[in-house]
């Protein structure tokens, strides 16, 4: 498989369409995909976004998983997910995790337990990469959500039993990565 060239089809702020011409087994084809990068052929190892899996630790209470219920325009409905966001210019993954969890949940980062390498969300449709961060958070005085005008986010603090019920809900809509994390915790039988 060989990429012969890539043409930009749209000119939007956050996401654009590109058409790649490719050759495979002596035949050429065209593949349209979305990218957040100005030039998808350059800087292929960069990370575009983070998905944050936070556990809230409060003294004398069991840990609670922080899940968000957010309206997503492309779906036209509310989706259960985790806090997430795009890396800003010059920002590293850890800085984005700290900023996004505070903005979307009003909770403060205490500890980063693990950050994945950049993962591809839907590689047949986009080259977007997302690093998953498993973190511990806490509530604090003066901390509050700081949502952008386009964001509609409800924060849910779920104990283990509540998380299991949500994972098993057949009428709920989920982000695929979020559901996978819920199912993993359910199968482990605990958050940690």
Q: What is the DSSP string of 143-156?
A: ------TT--EEEE
Q: In the chain, which residues have pLDDT < 50?
A: none
40: in domain: no
Q: Alpha-carbon distance 91 to 140, whole Å? A: 24
Does 156 lie in the same domain as 182?
A: yes
79 and 8 in one domain? no
Domain interval for residue 11:
2-35
* Same domain for 88 and 17: no
Say whether both 71 and 164 belong to one domain: yes
pLDDT of residue 44: 73
CATH number at residue 138: 3.90.79.10
For residues 100 and 159, membership in a common domain is answered with yes
Asked if 100 and 84 count as a contact pair (C-beta separation under 8 A), the reply is yes
Domain count, the chain: 2
What pTM was estimated for this model as a whole?
0.91
Task: Note the pLDDT of residue 41.
Answer: 85
| CATH code of 15's domain | 2.20.25
68 & 28 share domain: no
Residues 64 and 114 in one domain: yes
Question: What pLDDT is recorded for position 141?
Answer: 84
- Please check whether residues 29 and 55 belong to one and the same domain: no
Write out pLDDT tens, residues 120-147. Answer: 989 999 999 999 999 999 998 888 888 8
Phi, psi (deg, nearest 5) at residue 43: 55, 50
pLDDT confidence of residue 148: 86
Question: Do 116 and 146 belong together in one domain?
Answer: yes
Q: Are 69 and 127 contained in the same domain?
A: yes
**SS3 of 35-93:** ECCCCCCCCCCCCCEEEEEEEECCCCCCCEEEEEEEEECCCCEEEEECCEEECCCCCCH
Q: What percent of the chain has pLDDT over 70?
A: 100
Q: Are residues 152 and 125 in the same domain?
A: yes
């Amino acid at each position: 498989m060989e990429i012969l060239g890539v043409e930009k089809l749209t000119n939007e702020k956050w996401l654009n369409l590109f058409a790649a011409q490719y050759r495979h087994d002596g035949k050429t084809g065209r593949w349209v995909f979305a990218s957040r990068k100005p030039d998808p052929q350059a800087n292929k190892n960069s990370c575009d976004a983070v998905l944050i899996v936070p556990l809230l630790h409060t003294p004398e209470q069991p840990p609670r998983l922080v899940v968000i219920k957010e309206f997503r325009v492309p779906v036209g409905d509310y989706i259960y997910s985790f806090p997430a966001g795009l890396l800003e210019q010059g920002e590293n993954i850890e800085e984005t995790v700290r900023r996004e969890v505070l903005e979307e949940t009003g909770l403060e980062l205490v500890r980063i337990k693990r950050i994945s390498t950049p993962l591809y969300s839907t590689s047949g449709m986009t080259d977007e990469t997302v690093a998953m961060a498993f973190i511990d958070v806490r509530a604090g005085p003066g901390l509050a959500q700081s949502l952008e005008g386009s964001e509609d986010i409800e924060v849910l603090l779920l104990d283990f039993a509540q998380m299991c019920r949500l994972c098993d809900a057949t009428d709920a809509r989920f982000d695929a990565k979020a559901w996978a994390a819920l199912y993993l915790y359910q199968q482990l039988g605990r958050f940690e």
